[in-house]
């Protein structure tokens, strides 16, 4: 069992919006009293982009005797639903488990559609950088290859994916349909452009000369021009990379959660653990409470529950790393992401609002340079 500590510094500036969120309570915490108050409230509804939320909320309900349901709602829909429900005075989603941190920072928290709650008894085990707004897990997207065809990863540098060898053979989710991908572009340019530039020189043996104002833009443009397979979701990317019986499988970028397909679907794939300069990148899942909820105590109780090993366990097996530093990742987590955590481009929330502000620009840039 391994414990993640490096991630504790990856979102140090979430405090940028600390003053906008409901302050964490400091008085003595009484879990039993919170449970009793929660039992007297209307049914609790929890939104999350993973289907695992259904079983998580069922387990929560069984444990505490609180009426609650979980609903799988993708991040973009969560954003729209929470705003619409709040404006209509008809809140349906009481707790929001959302992976679109920039949207929460830019729209939900400042407009008081939601607030952040840190259970007081968790203050010593959740790093300060994850407390306000509260981050429940750090998730990863990773580069992967087909292990049936290749004995080792066939790509050693992200710039190799722009070469003719990988023309029409690299798969990833369409950046126009999933904002975390354009946020990734923004993060690379803001914090790691020198590494992208150095990777070019390492791959080609000469300095990068480009018409663009950053090495990141040069790489994104080159990736787009090399006609990657843009998919509707990670399921399609996982199949393109790992489905057995292929002669020329795709190299791909997907959620670490898809490595459950190795056992569930017989896929043959592994993380490209030697890729430079990173084997993937991370993003955060926030746990927020709707300001207009009729079940505030049940909402707080669920937030407390999801910060425990029992509560978050169903997502840990998918490579979702809890921010509670006392929780160890399961040894049988299928992707092996724990051993590669230091080789991921870590999300830095200092520029989370910039990620939000530049989304349209990055989408337009991709539209211009993507070739089918």
Using an 8 Å Cβ cutoff, are 282 and 273 in contact? no
pLDDT tens string 191-232: 999 999 999 999 999 999 999 999 999 999 999 999 999 999
CATH architecture assignment, domain 140-281+362-369: 3-Layer(aba) Sandwich (3.40)
pLDDT band at 14 (very low <50, low <70, confident <90, very high): very low
Residue indicated by tokens 């488990």: 97
Would you give the end-to-end CA distance of the chain in angstroms? 44
Whether residue 324 contacts residue 307, with contact meaning beta carbons closer than 8 Å, is answered with yes
Find residue 205's DSSP bridge partners.
none
DSSP-based three-state secondary structure for 251: strand
The strand pair at 280-290 and 114-115 is best described as: antiparallel
CB-side neighbour CA atoms (13 Å) of 167: 7
Tell me if domain 6-138+282-335 and domain 140-281+362-369 are identical in fold: yes
Cα torsion angle, 336, 339, 341, 344, sign? negative
CA 219: distance to chain centroid? 22
Determine how β-strand 44-48 pairs with β-strand 68-72.
Answer: parallel
Asked if residue 118 has pLDDT above 70, the reply is yes
The pLDDT, as a whole number, for residue 76 is 85
How far apart CA 68 and CA 66 sit, in angstroms, is 6
Separation of alpha carbons 290 and 94, rounded Å: 5
Domain parsing of the chain, residue ranges: 6-138+282-335, 140-281+362-369
Strands 95-98 and 269-271: unpaired
Give pLDDT tens digits for 166-194.
999 999 999 999 999 999 999 999 999 99
Q: How confident is the model at residue 24 (pLDDT cuts 50, 70, 90)?
A: very low
Whole-prediction pTM? 0.84
- Residues of the chain by 3-state class (helix, strand, coil), percent to 5: 45, 15, 35
Contact (Cβ atoms closer than 8 angstroms) between residue 268 and residue 334: no
Assign domain 6-138+282-335 to a CATH class.
alpha beta
State how far the alpha carbon of 331 is from the alpha carbons of 1, 3, 225, 255, 334, in Å.
Answer: 5, 11, 40, 18, 9
Task: Tell the residue number behind the tokens 């991630």, with chain if given.
Answer: 7
CB-facing half-sphere around the CA of 345: CA atoms within 13 A: 25
Q: What is the pLDDT of residues 235-293, one digit of tens each?
A: 999 999 999 999 999 999 999 999 999 999 999 999 999 999 999 999 999 999 999 99
């Amino acid at each position: 069992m391994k414990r993640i500590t490096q991630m504790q510094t990856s979102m140090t500036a979430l405090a940028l919006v600390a003053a906008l969120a409901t302050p964490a309570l400091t008085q003595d915490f009484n879990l039993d009293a919170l449970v009793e108050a929660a039992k007297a409230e209307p049914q609790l509804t929890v939104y999350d982009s993973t289907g695992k939320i259904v079983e998580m909320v069922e387990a929560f309900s069984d444990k505490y005797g609180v009426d609650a349901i979980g609903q799988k709602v993708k991040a973009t829909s969560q954003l729209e639903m929470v705003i619409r429900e709040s404006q209509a005075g008809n809140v349906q989603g009481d707790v929001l488990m959302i992976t679109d941190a920039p949207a929460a920072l830019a729209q939900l928290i400042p407009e008081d559609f939601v607030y952040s709650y840190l259970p007081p008894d968790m203050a010593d085990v959740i790093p300060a950088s994850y407390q306000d707004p509260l981050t429940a897990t750090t998730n990863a997207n990773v580069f992967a290859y087909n292990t049936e065809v290749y004995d080792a990863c066939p790509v050693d540098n992200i710039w190799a994916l722009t070469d003719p060898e990988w023309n029409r053979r690299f798969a990833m989710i369409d950046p126009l349909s999933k904002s975390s991908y354009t946020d990734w572009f923004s993060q690379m340019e803001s914090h790691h452009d020198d590494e992208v530039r150095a990777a070019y020189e390492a791959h080609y043996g000469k300095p990068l000369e480009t018409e663009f104002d950053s090495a990141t833009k040069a790489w994104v443009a080159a990736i787009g021009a090399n006609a990657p397979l843009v998919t509707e979701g990670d399921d399609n990317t996982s199949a393109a990379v790992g489905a057995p019986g292929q002669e020329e499988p795709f190299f791909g970028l997907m959620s670490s959660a898809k490595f459950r397909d190795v056992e569930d679907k017989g896929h043959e794939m592994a993380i490209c653990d030697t890729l430079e300069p990173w084997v993937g990148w991370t993003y955060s899942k926030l746990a927020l409470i709707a300001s207009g909820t009729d079940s505030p105590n049940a909402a707080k109780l669920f937030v407390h529950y999801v910060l425990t090993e029992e509560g978050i366990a169903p997502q840990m097996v998918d490579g979702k790393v809890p921010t509670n530093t006392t929780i160890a990742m399961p040894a049988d987590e299928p992707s092996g992401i724990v051993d590669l955590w230091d080789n991921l481009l870590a999300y830095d929330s200092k520029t989370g609002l910039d990620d939000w502000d530049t989304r349209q620009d990055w989408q337009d840039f991709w539209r211009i340079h993507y070739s089918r």
